[in-house]
Structure 1
Amino acid sequence: MNAPVKIETTLKDWVTDQEVRWCPGCGDYAILKAVQRTLPQLGCDPAKTVFISGIGCSSRFPYYMETYGFHTIHGRAPAVATGAKLANPELDVWLVTGDGDGLSIGGNHLMHVLRRNVNMQIMLFNNEIYGLTKGQYSPTSREGTRSPSTPIGSVDHPANPCAFALGAGARFVARGFDVSKNLPEVLTAAHAHQGAAFIEIFQNCIVYNKDVFDDFAAPKGAENRQLWLKNGEPMLFAGGTKGLAFDTDKLAFTVVDVENDDWQAAGVRVHDVTNRVMAHLLAELPFGPFPMPLGVLYDDPAATYESAVIAEREKSTAGKEANLAKLLGSGQTWTVNGTAQDPQ
């Protein structure tokens, strides 16, 4: 496959004439704008880009991108996206799903697109609720979540999207949230990755789960509750006064104080995006005792699914003639002579 040719576009080239119809204040607006601002910076071509979604509030996304797009059915977007990429490997494929669409009925399909490592960007909007169907609890809803389907409170232990992705064999896993100024940076890293790039995006549902992420996403005091990971840099937060060290006896992270900017003396660990074990530990780090890990947790490319399929196809067809008429006329065939009889 040839490397994509970069072209010059502006944000306006990616905006459709469709009225954007999400609830006022929905986090989807911020994500949409972040994507529309990022794609021109990457030199992407709208004519070679496709957004594919399933069902849910997030799945209206293709209507608002001036690209090709499919609004498919509940949970099946990964299957459609895989077909699109195999049919035309030159396409830049973006898959848009939600915590309900992607981790309930679509969990099976999402798992397989990740383990196959199909080259596409997968944005999972996680608002920890079913917004489109009026606020039922979702696979990622926290224990105790009150909703129309759990009026006394959910007793389910929530799914962890990043841990799920790593467990399914994803080679790129990242986190961001809707209004973060760092979200375009995460999207850029995902786009640069060759293979299935999974991004969990925390998204505020203003109607049914308002401000559920304020415990780490609220601007005031955010530096104390967010750990933005950068490859090759120490895991520092709280303005560099705290960091994550690794206890080799317990095989677990610990929070340490950093004095006089001497993070090495404090034992703060340097982030390595190719370390899969550390990525798992970061994905499952309990918020509260620890900050919320954000940014790229894991990035270790491997051969993509479509490259293997293309190589197999070329090998199986080498030296063979593509002649449908000859194929249909081969083997045991017969010819029916004469004309149809007039029933009268």
Structure 2
Amino acid sequence: MSENGLNGASNGNGSNGVNGVNGEGRTALSLVPKTDQKQTMKDFKTDQEVRWCPGCGDYAILAAVQSFLPELGLRRENITFVSGIGCSSRFPYYMNTYGFHSIHGRAPAIATGLASSRPDLSVWVVTGDGDALSIGGNHLIHALRRNVNLKILLFNNRIYGLTKGQYSPTSELGKITKSTPMGSLDAPFNPISLALGAEGSFVARTIDSDRKHLQSVLREAAQHQGTALVEIYQNCNIFNDGAFDPLKDAGVRDDVTVRLEHGQPIVFGAEGQKALRRTPTGSFEVVNVADVDPSEIAVHDAHAPDPSQAFALSRLDSPAFEHTPIGIFRQVRRPSYDELLGDQVEGAVRAQGKGDLAALLGSGDTWRID
């Protein structure tokens, strides 16, 4: 990368902090420098050999991200990918941007520091279901509740791939693996429900093989001011092949996949013959369009301040993929951590002056050892 990299852009703190919260025009990319050079997918490829198992879903995700990023028109020096440990965490090696292959489960924590101190960066976290939801679960939920300005791509293949096929926090009950030869006894996490419970301001799900849908979700996530979590169903063809076949099989996918679009009735099925209706208890039930009045069909509201509808949609999913929602579950505006931090720092400077680090370190009780 050029020497105009991480040290080359302006800070952007201060008056761009909390004062921008009520300005709906501000997005996550408002302070990120743009390039005046036309970019292509090739610009985001590195000279590193891409090394995943042949047929791995990660290839499709990588290609989708590399072909989508030129649309943003950002300087590559101001884009950063941070990963943890796992197959997905090789991602930064293959992106011709800045990157940080960090430690197991800690990518959200490292990215939090980066995004909080450098609002001129577009910061992305790449993680897996094991990395994010097991050892990294605590870091993930706190990044979500703080609403740090970063984008988290959670590759969910429901297995530990890098360590050769142990069950993961999203593996279904009864899953037989090398570490659970008699079947898993753990109830799996639902990443969407978890993110919504942590007050995630942008929560979405997509599929590795559906590039059009994947990129449409990425576009929205990239512009979102705050934490955006995108769960990506990703096939591990070596240790958990076919885990998401019902969502990919042309013969059945339209009948089991519920595509969410803000402001649109939740209708699905190969011929649009099915729909979702809200029950008196707040959950959803599947109905035949022909059997109900159009007013009974639920309309998706991703912008609702109350996440209860989005949460109810997340509970519609099942291990058998009888009905699986994909798309943006929730997309709301609330102050991001870096906005609040920038305003707080500026307020302290106004009240107390810029400060002197050397004087601070040398103040109070000190000892000199000769």
Match of 1:194 in 2: 225
Give the distance between the partners of 1:202 and 1:332, measured in 2 at CA. 56
Match of 2:21 in 1: none
Q: 1:271 to 1:321 in 2, by over 3 A?
A: closer
Match of 1:160 in 2: 190
Give the distance between the partners of 1:3 and 1:75, measured in 2 at CA. 28
Return the offset for 1:264.
5.4
Give the distance between the partners of 1:151 and 1:326, measured in 2 at CA. 61
Return the offset for 1:329.
6.1
Match of 2:289 in 1: 258
Matched to 1:293, the amino acid is P
Match of 2:32 in 1: 4
Matched to 2:233, the amino acid is F
Match of 1:320 in 2: 353
Which of 213, 231, 238 is the aligned partner of 2:262?
A: 231
Whether the 8 Å CA contact 1:256–1:266 is kept in 2: the answer is no
The answer on 1:21 being equivalent to 2:54 is no
Q: 1:327 to 1:223 in 2, by over 3 A?
A: closer
Which of 99, 105, 109 is the aligned partner of 2:135?
A: 105
What whole-Å deviation, never above 9, does each CA across 1:81-127 have from its counterpart, x for those lacking one? 01111221211000011100000000001111111100111010000
Match of 1:301 in 2: 333
Whether the 8 Å CA contact 1:165–1:198 is kept in 2: the answer is yes
Which of 167, 172, 184 is the aligned partner of 2:202?
A: 172
Rg larger in structure: 1
Question: 4+ residue runs of structure 1 moved beyond 4 angstroms?
Answer: 324-336
TM-score by length of 1: 0.91
Matched to 2:184, the amino acid is S
Matched to 1:317, the amino acid is V
Return the offset for 1:3.
3.3
Return the offset for 1:73.
0.5
Whether the 8 Å CA contact 1:173–1:198 is kept in 2: the answer is yes
Match of 1:149 in 2: 179
Whether the 8 Å CA contact 2:85–2:127 is kept in 1: the answer is yes
What whole-Å deviation, never above 9, does each CA across 1:205-225 have from its counterpart, x for those lacking one? 010000111122323321111
Q: 1:289 to 1:20 in 2, by over 3 A?
A: closer
With 14-23 and 264-273 compared, the bigger mean Cα shift is at: 264-273
Return the offset for 1:263.
7.8
Larger RCO of the pair (alpha carbons < 8 Å, separation 6+): 2
Whether the 8 Å CA contact 2:32–2:78 is kept in 1: the answer is no
Segments of 5+ residues of structure 2 without an aligned counterpart are 1-11, 13-29
Give the distance between the partners of 1:66 and 1:25, measured in 2 at CA. 23
How many percent of aligned residue pairs carry the same amino acid?
Answer: 50
SS of alignment partner, residue 200 of structure 1? strand
The answer on 1:71 being equivalent to 2:104 is no
TM-score by length of 2: 0.85
Matched to 1:205, the amino acid is C
SS of alignment partner, residue 244 of structure 1? strand
Give the distance between the partners of 1:280 and 1:331, measured in 2 at CA. 51
Matched to 2:43, the amino acid is D
C-alpha RMSD of matched pairs (Å):
2.1
Return the offset for 1:332.
7.0
SS of alignment partner, residue 182 of structure 1? helix
Give the distance between the partners of 2:173 and 2:362, measured in 1 at CA. 64
Give the distance between the partners of 2:261 and 2:362, measured in 1 at CA. 61
Give the distance between the partners of 2:243 and 2:368, measured in 1 at CA. 71
Aligned pair count? 334
Give the distance between the partners of 1:194 and 1:270, measured in 2 at CA. 25
Return the offset for 1:33.
0.7
Whether the 8 Å CA contact 2:317–2:325 is kept in 1: the answer is no
Give the distance between the partners of 1:188 and 1:335, measured in 2 at CA. 56
Match of 1:205 in 2: 236
Q: 1:265 to 1:58 in 2, by over 3 A?
A: same
SS of alignment partner, residue 187 of structure 2? coil
